[in-house]
Amino acid sequence: MFQWRKKNNFKAALLWFLTLAWAVFIFYLSAQPNFPVNFTVNEYQVFSSWAHIILYVVLAFLTIEAAVASGINRRQALVVALAIGAVYGASDEWHQAFVPGREMSLSDWLLDVIAAFLVMFCYSIIYRFKLFDH
């Protein structure tokens, strides 16, 4: 299953706290009936798309860092981050179905998953070429 190594418990706890705090922040934003900024191009909400990408890039990054700090090996941490991004993104979209003025969107969920995948892909490249190491 997971390979655990003994790591700094304080750093891991802090990173998991930040990951959870970021997830709560995403939940808070998705509970808002509408955003104060609504930038559209040909009826496509550009701001919303970029917001999804940025929010889930940060969530995936924090998840990877927290998992690695907890002693999960790097490859498994990447998979954990992708899974958490996909599941949390789906639950966020489901939650929006109950918020007045918001709706559930498959395209928004796909942006969440793509954002988590991009972080996973970038980490893979960085560590494959040993650009930096934990």
Domain ranges of the chain: 50-134
Q: What phi, psi does 104 have (nearest 5°)?
A: -75, 140
- pLDDT per residue over 70-91, tens digit each? 999 988 999 999 999 999 999 9
- The pLDDT score that the predictor gives to residue 41 is 47
HSE of 111, CA atoms in CB hemisphere, 13 A:
18
- The pLDDT score that the predictor gives to residue 8 is 63
- The pLDDT score that the predictor gives to residue 102 is 84
DSSP letter at 129 equals T
Nearest C-alpha neighbor of 15 from the set 67, 53, 81: 67
Can you give the pTM of this predicted structure? 0.82
pLDDT lower than 50: segments of the chain: 1, 39-41
CB 46 within 8 A of CB 40: yes
